[in-house]
Structure 1
């Protein structure tokens, strides 16, 4: 190999990623797309993104790029805000007034944005408005690509904002994120599981190291197409593990001989040696500047670098020019200089001797101390690394407090965990930091690490007895959120309550959590003593906010199990609160009551509670309460037949609240039930599978029971008796374990039908009696109507169905009333079929018309006019929808009660009218 190279900073061509790039350029410019690119440091994520953005089809779009930083100050949405700053000087299409919420974060765009809205007064509500404002702006800039790099360093706000955008992106927006999975908390890039909505293309690329052949091509490209031997490529691959960045940096350090390729060593050492080689010919001032940049850890300006390096700014500028020419540092953004890659920064930092590093960290503290506002996170980190323990503790806690204030719990929890790891902290500081950690973590996304830290603190002898109960309660609140840990959470909270004898307010809050009846599979008998304890505390409680908070849990839990005294004794419930906190708790109380009324069948009262509760929640700025109320409203609309646009509304809300278990599972239940009425079996199974049926111990119990009922109804409709039987038995097992038969209003009738279909008549009768005994003396109008349906199934007496129909109609449960009317052998099947059509229950309508045909009665036509021309007829619309769900002709025939031949003809007409050449194209 020749000894003289003209080495490049990086390869002039993309190597080993052509397939990935082809996938991206064929999708991103053409439709709304979510791209997630993961891979270890130096693997080529940024290079792939750069190639994508440089492609002509993408370059014509508006491109916004933001970077997450490893050592960042608290600033929610930082990477996205950085990306939006590039819009300065452009024009926005019309945006709504909510976009003005971005003015404080983006003063550069003040001329483009509406006036800032009035403050809401609640940080959660303000945050939600900011999310909406960002979506408004992105929707208004035309076709665009938003890129966020290094998501592993993102704040919670950025993750929340990206989840919000990616759940329902504007039609003209694609989102591209890059991250290192190994550095993610919980290994979830967005903090929670994510799945793109149906109308958005989703691409997940996992970049792997290059193989030997790709390393050879890369080396040849960097060496300006000098021939590279197989032996050299093998050695290079062996020593760099095929990581492109390491290949590039190592080749830059070589100067012409394969013989100089080092023996096998760790990659960071290779990089250190490569940078030492590159710096060898530069003057001392350049060394001092690059060392200062490595210690600072974030891109910095000339002034700051010169102070840390201890040289004057003019010499610092000259040194930066030399370093940039050598490819050591780069201008990451205007007048800010740093390293091209974190591995490069780490390699230089690791090359410094300990005393030199300490002196540079001390210089960094002096340089940063006068900055306004002070960069507390950086000051804390430099103090820690310089061995200034007192300053590290002070700055670290101040930075955590600042992060909490601005809504950046990720920074706060990370700092508090590291502070608690310090040895020899006095008890007072351990108490304070541990309680802060628990409180802050509850508002954040990262639960696993704070849980581990709090668990460790509880065994720390430095923690005082007085603080131990509060820390344990905070730990229990976090455990409730973790899958599979409800039992552990209950044990933890129970122990905390015992330790909080001197804090009756906190003990009562713990008891209220343990008394919540509708979470998990804990038997009702274990909840009731805790509810009684809350009631006893309320007699003497003189703190309004605490009182209202406890009432929200107590009343909602009692009403959900059919306590007949709750609705008759609400005179003591105030209609207004003096403080914002009191009003939020009152809103929660009313919305909890609305949810419980929906569960037991008090639909009129549910609507009243929802109206007042949502108004209170909006006024008090409580978006979480609003979110739960909106999902309750969706379930209420399902029961009362308000189905117009319900599927679209529920799907939109699910995209917005996918990470909130109580909301997402309830919306999934309704979407699954609606899909059943249309015969969309795959969609129904998918949605109902997310209601908690696979993990009842972690579910909202009435929703999971509803999921079992829906799945059983689906399998029964497909004549799959074994599957229906299995689901029914699992659902009944959960009901019996909980001991709350009020929640079986949807499950009991389909369970009886399944038992009868399998010949288990005696078991069906026994179940009906068990159901009747379980709801006796309960306030349970929906379950009472369902009991009449069960008795109709057992006796085949139409009078029981007529009683059920009357009871359902009295509740305004119109779909259930229609089902009971059909089972009562109504003579007005044509009108019932038409009503099902109007409602949107197309499979039910088809069943009624099939029943009419089987009786020899002509089924009424749905044509409405003589011909549809190139438009799809109602039947063709049904067929097209089911084809798009992936159903075969035979399956569609079974759903719509038609012959396969008739369906085949309908499919042919649909394809012809829509100009599709295949079923798969129609599905797309």
Structure 2
């Protein structure tokens, strides 16, 4: 110990040193304080137990391992473990050698070598670590583990004063915590879970969190969600119901139907049925589901609420619930249920004010069915009801505006839309979205630009998101960007939607594939086949499947002529018996194309004669004319050039250049061969990010996609440009930016 060379002190697992060992090390350092001294540890300087070694001249600390190095270390310790176990150990250890070893030892001791044994290893490591910490530091981590992430700095400052908070944050930063966009996060959810399991009684901590959050001057939606999570864990139902009501109100005001749905589902779950209090909850919840185009969920809620109302002998106040039920049944194309509800409402004594909700829902259905006689009759009935500005008045005004637009009365439609918006000024944004959504659809079919109102975002959490995505896809079709249209559908179908929305989106994708002569992704083939089978076996078939069935018949005309013929026959019967709803985005020329492929001259003559029904939107009229021209040419008849030019001008006027430039006899261009097809919009975005060196995971986060979806787009890009590796794909992309080079 009296050597003249520099003294090196090496300590393994410093954080597990007991107090006597730490005291011994401190005495050694003091003893050789006049000599050059180096200290080596596998831990960082801010770990527990390091503070006593500040006198060392140099500290050598091993940095965290990279993911690959961490996996190699874990593999060397437990060579027989599965790849999933090794990867999980590397992930949750954050590359820290001491944790890799400790978790690996626990896994090996368990003898299972499965993912579950990794969790056990983490719990053992965390429990051992926390047992060595000072009480204040341990409680700090335990409280954080009970808070929903991200853990905001504002909340932390309400729980601890700055003098105590900063040292505890610094001590926890490297091992447990990291920073996110809006606050702190645990490095891995498994760490937070392991810490929670060390808490003997959670309720005092949770009460402390609730107290800190509620002290804020204004409670934003994340604050309310945080409070509710803590209250639920404490089991205080009364207090939870109070804050769920606040959250529902905030979600409605903020136009967040997904959040509203969660709050209302929980309120209904916790509240014993009482007609006066419960029926408004069932109505509001079903309306939120309807706005999200999740009509099957709305039907579930309405059916449950109506059954409970019947059991409690409640009749007079069920009007709003039946109105929402009617909307859901109509959107689900469940005509039997719709007709039953109409009979029920006619035979039930319902308050006149509430009756308006039922009438307005039936007015929407009459508008959608293009039944002017029924619409005018219901409009007269509505005038006899309460004239206050209610949801029924909003829905009726919007329906009247859209009906006027379908009849070709644009100025009348604009006046009614203006009135509907005037009525909704004092309503929550979710109700304001009703006329906005219907005017957005009308604007597309009228060929005019429409700017989304402030707060109406292109996001799945927004009301009527499906229509926004459907219009985006149809605009791509109208401009000849068929791959973009299909890609838009694929991205949209990731989100939870009802059968109506799914049917329409699949129909748009199939129509784009036929018109553009492009392949559909494999992910759409099975749903298309199943939907075509549903169309064949339904009586009457749903209108939402009409475009899909027509396009699918065109796709199958050479592979399965009998199936194609059956689909075309049934589609023609539906198309000639009733006007398709505008929101299904039907393209009648595809039916004429199918009839030509099948040699069905009788159907072609009927189409040429104008037997297919259509409304008076400029989009509908132009497409109806295109179908009649196509059928006439297919029958060997001539079509005056002036008529062809006039219809091309009509398509140009409504912003559909593809249909304006393509001759009626070439409505379905031949499919291009080879892999030189251009990339879709999403594929271009992904290839650009690949060229910037991004990984699939980074690309998925950037574009808000799943990694599997990113992989699918990359595979499609490989096929389109003939690449077999990412480097070849990047090379192609760089050449495309500079064709001369």
Local SS of the residue matching 1:884: coil
Shift of the alpha carbon at 1:387? 3.4
| Contact 1:292 1:305 survives alignment (8 Å) | no
2:566 equivalent in structure 1 = 729
In 2 relative to 1, CA 228–395 (structure 1 residues): closer, same or farther, beyond 3 Å? same
Map 1:100-499 to 2 at 5 A.
217-219=72-74, 228=77, 230=79, 234=81, 244-245=90-91, 251=99, 254=102, 261-262=109-110, 270-298=121-149, 300=151, 314-315=163-164, 317-324=166-173, 327=175, 329-332=176-179, 339-353=186-200, 356-374=201-219, 375-424=223-272, 426-444=274-292, 456-460=304-308, 465=315, 468-471=318-321, 473-474=323-324, 477=327, 490=338
| Contact 2:248 2:264 survives alignment (8 Å) | yes
1:760 equivalent in structure 2 = none
1:905 equivalent in structure 2 = none
2:577 equivalent in structure 1 = 740
1:527-569 deviation line (CA, Å, top 9, x unaligned): 7996575355356465688567436546867997xxxxx5699
In 2 relative to 1, CA 434–514 (structure 1 residues): closer, same or farther, beyond 3 Å? same
Q: Which structure is richer in relative contact order (CA contacts within 8 A, separation 6 or more)?
A: 1
| Contact 1:361 1:383 survives alignment (8 Å) | yes
- Distance across 2 between alignment mates of 1:338 and 1:777: 56
- Distance across 1 between alignment mates of 2:442 and 2:668: 37
TM-score by length of 2: 0.58
Task: Provide the aligned length of Structure 1 versus Structure 2.
Answer: 579
- Distance across 2 between alignment mates of 1:286 and 1:593: 61
In 2 relative to 1, CA 271–292 (structure 1 residues): closer, same or farther, beyond 3 Å? same
TM-score by length of 1: 0.48
Local SS of the residue matching 1:274: helix
In 2 relative to 1, CA 622–810 (structure 1 residues): closer, same or farther, beyond 3 Å? farther
2:355 equivalent in structure 1 = 504
Gaps of 5+ in 1: 17-213, 221-226, 519-523, 561-565, 599-605, 758-762, 817-834, 848-877, 887-909, 912-916
| Contact 2:589 2:626 survives alignment (8 Å) | no
- Distance across 1 between alignment mates of 2:503 and 2:108: 62
- Distance across 2 between alignment mates of 1:702 and 1:879: 29
Shift of the alpha carbon at 1:418? 1.8
| Contact 1:302 1:313 survives alignment (8 Å) | no
CA RMSD, 1 decimal: 6.3
2:684 equivalent in structure 1 = none
Map 1:787-826 to 2 at 5 A.
801-802=637-638, 804-805=639-640, 808-809=643-644, 812-813=647-648
- Distance across 1 between alignment mates of 2:578 and 2:298: 38
Selected match of 2:66 from 13, 28, 43: 13
| Contact 1:469 1:497 survives alignment (8 Å) | yes
In 2 relative to 1, CA 425–752 (structure 1 residues): closer, same or farther, beyond 3 Å? closer
| Contact 2:153 2:183 survives alignment (8 Å) | yes
Q: 1:884 aligned to 2:676? A: yes
In 2 relative to 1, CA 306–538 (structure 1 residues): closer, same or farther, beyond 3 Å? closer
| Contact 1:836 1:845 survives alignment (8 Å) | no
In 2 relative to 1, CA 707–590 (structure 1 residues): closer, same or farther, beyond 3 Å? same
In 2 relative to 1, CA 658–481 (structure 1 residues): closer, same or farther, beyond 3 Å? farther
In 2 relative to 1, CA 277–505 (structure 1 residues): closer, same or farther, beyond 3 Å? same
In 2 relative to 1, CA 267–419 (structure 1 residues): closer, same or farther, beyond 3 Å? farther
Shift of the alpha carbon at 1:507? 0.6
Shift of the alpha carbon at 1:742? 6.6
Selected match of 1:647 from 477, 480, 484: 480
In 2 relative to 1, CA 921–746 (structure 1 residues): closer, same or farther, beyond 3 Å? same
1:673-695 deviation line (CA, Å, top 9, x unaligned): 652xxxx4547999999898676
| Contact 2:472 2:488 survives alignment (8 Å) | no
1:657-714 deviation line (CA, Å, top 9, x unaligned): 9637698578657745652xxxx45479999998986765799977865566666667
- Distance across 2 between alignment mates of 1:371 and 1:272: 34
In 2 relative to 1, CA 299–586 (structure 1 residues): closer, same or farther, beyond 3 Å? closer
| Contact 2:360 2:396 survives alignment (8 Å) | yes
- Distance across 1 between alignment mates of 2:86 and 2:591: 64
1:203-246 deviation line (CA, Å, top 9, x unaligned): xxxxxxxxxxx96x3426xxxxxx5264xx54x98999956446
Map 1:67-86 to 2 at 5 A.
none
| Contact 1:253 1:274 survives alignment (8 Å) | no
Shift of the alpha carbon at 1:4? 5.4
- Distance across 1 between alignment mates of 2:125 and 2:137: 16
In 2 relative to 1, CA 450–342 (structure 1 residues): closer, same or farther, beyond 3 Å? farther
1:77-134 deviation line (CA, Å, top 9, x unaligned): xxxxxxxxxxxxxxxxxxxxxxxxxxxxxxxxxxxxxxxxxxxxxxxxxxxxxxxxxx
| Contact 1:650 1:670 survives alignment (8 Å) | no
Shift of the alpha carbon at 1:12? 0.8
- Distance across 2 between alignment mates of 1:256 and 1:784: 72
| Contact 1:775 1:784 survives alignment (8 Å) | no
Shift of the alpha carbon at 1:414? 1.9
Local SS of the residue matching 2:480: helix
Shift of the alpha carbon at 1:634? 10
- Distance across 1 between alignment mates of 2:205 and 2:334: 48
Shift of the alpha carbon at 1:330? 2.1
| Contact 1:219 1:251 survives alignment (8 Å) | no
| Contact 1:551 1:589 survives alignment (8 Å) | no
- Distance across 2 between alignment mates of 1:700 and 1:558: 27
- Distance across 2 between alignment mates of 1:458 and 1:569: 39
| Contact 2:286 2:325 survives alignment (8 Å) | yes
1:419-459 deviation line (CA, Å, top 9, x unaligned): 22115465544234333333344445888877766655555
1:576-609 deviation line (CA, Å, top 9, x unaligned): 74562459888877777777xx7xxxxxxx5xxx
| Contact 1:490 1:514 survives alignment (8 Å) | no
1:60 equivalent in structure 2 = none
- Distance across 1 between alignment mates of 2:528 and 2:366: 25
Shift of the alpha carbon at 1:738? 5.7
In 2 relative to 1, CA 460–237 (structure 1 residues): closer, same or farther, beyond 3 Å? farther
1:580 equivalent in structure 2 = 421
Shift of the alpha carbon at 1:395? 1.6
2:366 equivalent in structure 1 = 515
